Amino acid sequence: MQLGYRYKLKPSRQQEATMNRWLDMLRSQYNYLLRDRIESYSQVKAPRLGNYCDLKSKGEVCPLTCSVSKSHSVGYPWKSNTKNPRRTAYEAQSSSLPILKKQRPWYKGINSTVLQQALRQLDVAFSKFFKGETGYPKPKRRSRFRSFKYSTGQVKLDGNKIYLPGIGWMSFYNSRLIPEGFKLNSVTVRRKTRGWFVSIQIEDKSVPVPPVKSKDEINPQKVKGCDLGIKKLISLSSGETVANPAIQTSFKPRERRLKLRQRAASRKKKGSKNRGKSYTRVASLHERITNSRSAYHWDTANKLVDGADALVFEDLNIKAMKSRCKPKPNENGGYDRNGQSAKRGLNRSISNAAWGELVKKIEVVAAKSGIPVVKVNPKYTSQKCPKCHHTSKENRKKEKFVCTNCGHYDDADVNGAVNIKLRGLKKLGIDPSQLPPVRGKVTPTEITATNVVVPGNPHPS
């Protein structure tokens, strides 16, 4: 089983300076190699799957007239003594590291696996792009390049001290004990506004990952359909709800402080040191908000997974939901109101609820106990009657659901959750007729999250 833990580091001033210097050097190498890939690609102007001259003959070619690879020219393109002698772009770029260390001796100070991982990071960025998961890799600014990574077997742990090769021993806030028998895998060091953090991947191969429950092991009554919303963060098919603390806006003093800091920062002279400092203050507050939101999400995830056999969610396209309203041009050459200003508020609420992150965390928690998380098509889940399957816009009246065909009624969100659950059961291949008859009326009860700092934050930042 593989787990991820995160700790706050206590670096000395010297160590902090070293880590900052490493980040700068790694970023410059990252951007240089990105540029190399972009330029070599545009030089050959070949489609992604195209043939490259002299590939078949395996002859060496002049990089000026013909690039061997579609995406690099740094490094040496051929391996020796293998069946497939052509290096991938990553391998070729990584073969250039000895040259780099010769030309720029200060790169020798960086742990070699850290340097390697930065190259890997670029490779991952490209493969994600080709899979269509992300946009085209961009050069990174200082504020966007904030972490470096060690490979397995580099870092040592001893009590509340950690050994980072090239940087030295450093103590950290041991906020969570690592379970016995787990081995360190990769270790990532990250610079954040509120300090330095280390993320540790640990693994124990003797602890098996629980297998995902099969169709026959799932009790349909223990399947939870979950409707994500704004007023209530989650409405369950059982009638329970999870409140939405709306972390960013619920605590007024903090919201006001954020506004003041943002305004102060935007008034500082562009490019000045003061402006930089002010924006650090803004970022620090944002980080606090993110932290308390994520604490609430973990708590919610644990509560949801507890006692469930399967969880069903809508497959929401959040990006599309947040898209802007189309402009409405009129005859006078101007524009009519298109409702964007009202939409802006909704978009903020959507961002504030952070459904995508919540679902990701739920998936992590569910995987630990082998509970499947199913995503279903959200179409018409709020308009369909689960009893007679009549689908109409008129079925939904704000917060109530009343079927115009058979008279079945329910809370609108709970009704949506029931529909989501039914679709999930279908996807899992379970017969929904094993379910008890659909209830007539539901009084929503609230699951309260404990141990969570939400509204009325007693720790001002």
Residues within the interface to Zn ion (CB under 5 A): 385, 387-388, 390, 403, 405-406, 408
By C-beta, is 99 or 388 nearer to Zn ion? 388
Nearest to 304 by CA among 451, 455, 447: 447
In the complex, minimum distance from the CB of residue 314 to Zn ion, in angstroms, rounded to a whole number: 21
Eight-class DSSP state of 8: E
Burial of 288 (0-12, 13-18, 19+ CB in 10 A): buried
By C-beta, is 245 or 386 nearer to Zn ion? 386
By C-beta, is 362 or 403 nearer to Zn ion? 403
Phi, psi (5° rounding) for residue 351?
-65, -40
By C-beta, is 219 or 404 nearer to Zn ion? 404
By C-beta, is 256 or 389 nearer to Zn ion? 389
In the complex, minimum distance from the CB of residue 149 to Zn ion, in angstroms, rounded to a whole number: 55
Per 3-state DSSP, what percentage of the chain is helix, strand, and coil (rounded to 5)?
40, 20, 40
In the complex, minimum distance from the CB of residue 414 to Zn ion, in angstroms, rounded to a whole number: 15
Which amino acid, residue 306? Answer: D
In the complex, minimum distance from the CB of residue 206 to Zn ion, in angstroms, rounded to a whole number: 53
By C-beta, is 228 or 422 nearer to Zn ion? 422
In the complex, minimum distance from the CB of residue 407 to Zn ion, in angstroms, rounded to a whole number: 7
By C-beta, is 368 or 389 nearer to Zn ion? 389
CA distance 225 to 235: 8
The greatest distance separating any two alpha carbons of the chain, rounded to the nearest whole angstrom, comes to 80
Phi, psi (5° rounding) for residue 12?
-80, 170
In the complex, minimum distance from the CB of residue 406 to Zn ion, in angstroms, rounded to a whole number: 3
Other residues' Cβ atoms within 10 Å of the Cβ of residue 347: 15
- Which of 56-77 are b and which e, b meaning 16 or more Cβ less than 10 Å from the residue's Cβ? eeeeeeeeeeebbbbbbbbbeb
CA distance 251 to 456: 6
Instruction: Using DSSP bridges, classify how beta strands 223-228 and 310-314 pair: parallel, antiparallel or unpaired.
Output: parallel
In the complex, minimum distance from the CB of residue 432 to Zn ion, in angstroms, rounded to a whole number: 15
CA distance 346 to 230: 9
By C-beta, is 277 or 400 nearer to Zn ion? 400
By C-beta, is 69 or 395 nearer to Zn ion? 395
In the complex, minimum distance from the CB of residue 412 to Zn ion, in angstroms, rounded to a whole number: 14
CA distance 393 to 441: 20
CA distance 311 to 225: 6
By C-beta, is 18 or 395 nearer to Zn ion? 395
Q: Is the dihedral of CA 267, 270, 272, 277 positive or negative?
A: positive
Which H or E element spans position 148? strand 147-150
In the complex, minimum distance from the CB of residue 440 to Zn ion, in angstroms, rounded to a whole number: 12
In the complex, minimum distance from the CB of residue 389 to Zn ion, in angstroms, rounded to a whole number: 7
